[in-house]
């Protein structure tokens, strides 16, 4: 099973939150935090059935988890709970290796990319950066 197939399988239980094909582009290390957030969003949507809550993108940007939602007819209390869910997931990911899920910290590659990686994956990223830098 390729990574695209694995991502599709991971997102399948959450299809109701997405319009069309889910746009999820985070490494597997963050999947538990993303799953927790999406589970909470599903429950929140069930609690407020008249509100329209759609997720249109889940991604890593600048070393942070971004879950971007579209909201319509959302009561203020739902908005506060949504913000808490998204903040909790982003906080969890800020100290979790994107690749493997072990404890990690934010690092900047020599090319300016911000990532959250454990020591092992940070070392392999530095080696990869050094190879690419020497090829230029």
Nearest-angstrom CA–CA distance, 73 and 21 = 23
Helix locations, the chain, DSSP H: 3-11, 31-47, 76-93, 119-135
> What integer pLDDT is reported at residue 136 of this predicted model?
60
**Per-residue pLDDT averaged across 6-10, rounded?**
91
pLDDT at 49 over 90: no
Structural domain boundaries in the chain: 1-94, 97-136
101-110 pLDDT, tens digit each: 999 999 998 7
With contact defined as beta carbons under 8 Å apart, do 122 and 110 qualify?
no
With contact defined as beta carbons under 8 Å apart, do 68 and 56 qualify?
yes
**Per-residue pLDDT averaged across 24-42, rounded?**
97
Cα dihedral across residues 118, 120, 126, 131: positive or negative? negative
- pTM for the predicted model, two decimal places: 0.90
Which of 114, 102, 111 shows the shortest CA–CA distance to 65?
114
> What integer pLDDT is reported at residue 134 of this predicted model?
72
What's the token pair of residue 119? 């020591």
Neighbours of 93 (CB within 10 A): 26
> What integer pLDDT is reported at residue 2 of this predicted model?
58
56-90 pLDDT, tens digit each: 999 999 999 999 998 887 888 899 999 999 999 99
93-127 pLDDT, tens digit each: 999 999 999 999 999 987 788 999 999 999 998 88
């Amino acid at each position: 099973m390729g990574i695209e197939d694995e991502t599709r399988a991971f997102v399948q239980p959450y299809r109701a939150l997405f319009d069309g094909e889910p746009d999820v582009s985070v490494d597997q290390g963050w999947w538990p935090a993303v799953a927790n957030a999406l589970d909470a969003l599903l429950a929140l949507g069930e609690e407020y059935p008249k509100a329209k809550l759609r997720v249109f993108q889940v991604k890593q940007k600048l070393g942070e988890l971004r879950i971007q939602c579209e909201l319509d007819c959302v009561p203020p209390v739902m908005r506060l709970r949504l913000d808490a869910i998204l903040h909790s997931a982003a906080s969890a990911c800020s100290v979790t290796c994107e690749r493997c899920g072990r404890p990690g910290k934010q690092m900047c590659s020599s090319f300016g990319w911000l990532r959250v990686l454990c020591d092992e994956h940070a070392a392999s990223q530095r080696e990869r950066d050094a190879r690419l830098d020497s090829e230029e």
